[in-house]
Amino acid sequence: MEQDISNIQVLIVDDSAIVRKAIKKSVIQAGVSEDCIREAEHGAVALERLDESLPDIVFLDVNMPVMNGEEFMVAIDEDGRVEEVAVVIVSTEMNAKRLFRLAQLGARARLHKPFPPERIREVIIDMISAA
């Protein structure tokens, strides 16, 4: 039986509107309702979105202006929210030390850009199954 993920709350954090749109399209194709998806153009806006309501999954870019992905992870680690949300790094980042640091801060998975759209559903199911 296929798992219903239509009501999973998702936050997409990326400084590129084009990338946010592509991820959003993939998340909708995976079966998440469009009403359950919010966006942020960098980590500071993402923190505001978390204050509004806590998503189940955050798809997080690493390299962004204002507040990058690592700074965002530090912030939610310090305030204890990292345990409450599944963070998936979606990036072209290849620096092993930085990726290890993000994992230490609580990132639970990584998608390397570009990724096949069907991979999003697998990651969402993995994240909610692990919760």
29 within a domain of the structure (yes/no): yes
1 within a domain of the structure (yes/no): no
Q: Which residues of the chain have pLDDT under 70?
A: 1, 93, 131
Please state the domain count of the chain. 1
51 within a domain of the structure (yes/no): yes
18-38 pLDDT, tens digit per residue, is 999 999 999 999 999 999 999
3 within a domain of the structure (yes/no): no
Bridge-based pairing state of the strands 86-91 and 107-112: parallel
102 within a domain of the structure (yes/no): yes
How far apart (Å, rounded) are the C-alpha atoms in residues 64 and 89? 13
2 within a domain of the structure (yes/no): no
Range of the domain at 26: 10-130
- Residue 131 corresponds to which tokens in the numbers above? 């919760």
46 within a domain of the structure (yes/no): yes
| CA distance to 12, 30, 49, 60, 96, per residue, from 19 (Å) | 9, 16, 18, 11, 23
pLDDT of residue 1: 53
| Secondary structure string (H, E, C) spanning 53-115 | CCCCEEEECCCCCCCCHHHHHHHHHHCCHHHCCEEEEEECCCCHHHHHHHHHCCEEEEEECCC
119-128 pLDDT, tens digit per residue, is 999 999 999 8
5 within a domain of the structure (yes/no): no
Q: For residue 48, what is the domain's CATH number?
A: 3.40.50.2300
